[in-house]
Structure 1
Amino acid sequence: MTQASASTTPHHAGHRERLRERARGAGLHHLPDYELLELFLFRSQPQGDVKPIAKALLARFGSLAAVLAASVEDLMTVRAEDARGRIKGIGAETALDLTALHEVSRRVAREETSKRTVISSWTALLSYVRLSLQHEPREQFRVLYLDNRNQLILDEIQNRGTVDHAPVYPREVVRRALELSAKSMIIVHNHPSGDPTPSRPDIEMTRQIIEAARALEVSVHDHLIVGRDGVASFKQLGLM
């Protein structure tokens, strides 16, 4: 190779194939998070060096899970500088691909929950609710409606709110249970602050739902609050 051609060869030349070879040889589980992201970004960005973008995504959102849970709009705000000082970003197609990957993961987790008795597969349930809500930027109130075998009928979003409040109407929660012929339910919502500790309004709202449901012979198994720091269970905390 001449000096002139060497100077025009991108520093990342051959990197994509080398990374693919390592993934095929040692296995994907050996790759760090940014390289897993690179592999995925190769498909939506067929040319250029995507390593700076992969690292910028992780730096911006804090974790691989948070990258995938981010909205299309937030993903498109990420910028990175490549080795030549050029600024690159995430386009709409790449952002959509990343959010689609999160939805695939969420649906796989939901399948694991749906195929088994929910209350006897608690680990799968906790994984599912964390994947669904752990990085949601706004509060979301959901209800998992169960049949008489405690299998999932429907996971329904009852309401979306602000960063610290989602309005809840106990009568609507119970009315929906009757419509679905549900025999029991698990209440789930998230705390975008990250701390899953139940608040006083959370406790009061749960009490109202339990009382309304009891009158119609619908039981409430638990209320789960999801935060970045974990999942709080009302039943385990002795709050119901």
Structure 2
Amino acid sequence: MTAHRPSSELKEAPLPGLFDMRVEVPHYTNHRDRLRDRLIRAGAQAVADYELLELVLFRAIPRRDVKALAKGLLARFGNFNHVIAAPMDQLLDMPGLGPAAARELKIVEAAAHRMAQAQMLNREIISSWDTLIAYCTTTMAHQAQEQFRILFLDRKNVLIADEVQQTGTVDHVPVYPREVARRALMLNASAVILVHNHPSGDPTPSDADITMTHRIHDALLALDITLHDHVIIGKGRHTSFRSDGIL
């Protein structure tokens, strides 16, 4: 008759490979948690540009280490602002960056612009000139194409609207004085500031810029609307037509 083995012995002899399986956690999982915690605890200044990009990319690329991709984006475009402002086609040319991740970057760009705009609206612009230049630099300096925007002010020089009127090529944007004047009337604006960027980075006005500015000035003057200035945004520099005596 076969003797029965004690139950305690049965428990000590599990089937090999059945209960001793281990789930391997990807090495980047803890890194992501630590990075998120550091951002929340210490703020944006506690993370480098490539780490901030990682945090954005995590959302669209959940199952891959993205540190090399983040550093590659910075190497190609220069800095965080240039990365999120890069055109979609250029982002999608980056190996390892798919449409979902590129969309996340453009969402961050849109949010940054919206926050900067909110800080300017309903503020007296003329006495907040440094803030205005910082805002225009944030929204325009890193654009790959020329963009022409108009800041509409009321009688107290408070910003009531900020609108992009036209977007052009890398070195030209069409502007129509009649359209500028018409929109100012629709908004009941008393004054206007023109702003456009030079993707080359050099804010020196061209002859075409000067001619166009004078035409807009004349169109607004006929309607008793003041053209305060025309500002050209470059990379790290800007030109004020008013300060330079062009206007």
Select between 97-106 and 117-126 the one with higher mean Cα deviation. 117-126
Note the 1:144-223 alignment, pairs <5 A. Answer: 144-223=151-230
**TM-score after normalising by structure 2:** 0.84
- CA distance in 2 between counterparts of 1:171 and 1:9 reads 63
Aligned equivalent of 2:108: 101
The one-letter code matched in structure 1 to 2:241 is F
- CA distance in 2 between counterparts of 1:22 and 1:169 reads 49
**TM-score after normalising by structure 1:** 0.87
- CA distance in 2 between counterparts of 1:22 and 1:156 reads 37
Cα distance, 1:142–1:13 mapped onto 2, change above 3 Å = closer
Deviation at 1:184, TM superposition (A): 0.5
Cα distance, 1:133–1:50 mapped onto 2, change above 3 Å = same
Note the 1:84-123 alignment, pairs <5 A. Answer: 89-123=96-130
The one-letter code matched in structure 2 to 1:36 is L
Cα distance, 1:211–1:99 mapped onto 2, change above 3 Å = same
Q: Deviations over 1:135-160 (max 9, x none)?
A: 11111211111111212222222222
The one-letter code matched in structure 2 to 1:118 is I
SS in 1 for 2:188: coil
The one-letter code matched in structure 1 to 2:220 is A
Asked if 1:74 is matched to 2:81, the reply is no
Q: Deviations over 1:44-102 (max 9, x none)?
A: 211221001100111111111111111222211112xxxxxxxxx11211111111111
Unaligned 5+ runs, structure 1: 80-88
Unaligned 5+ runs, structure 2: 1-20
Q: Please report the RMSD computed on the Cα atoms of aligned residues, expressed in angstroms.
A: 2.0
- CA distance in 2 between counterparts of 1:35 and 1:158 reads 35
- CA distance in 2 between counterparts of 1:138 and 1:181 reads 30
The one-letter code matched in structure 2 to 1:51 is K
- CA distance in 2 between counterparts of 1:42 and 1:230 reads 34
Asked if 1:139 is matched to 2:146, the reply is yes
Deviation at 1:11, TM superposition (A): 5.5
Deviation at 1:18, TM superposition (A): 3.3
Greater Rg by CA: 2
Could you tell me the percent identity over the aligned residues? 49
Asked if 1:42 is matched to 2:58, the reply is yes
The one-letter code matched in structure 1 to 2:114 is R
Asked if 1:130 is matched to 2:146, the reply is no
Asked if 1:32 is matched to 2:48, the reply is yes
Q: Check whether the contact 2:87–2:144 (CA below 8 A) recurs between aligned residues.
A: no
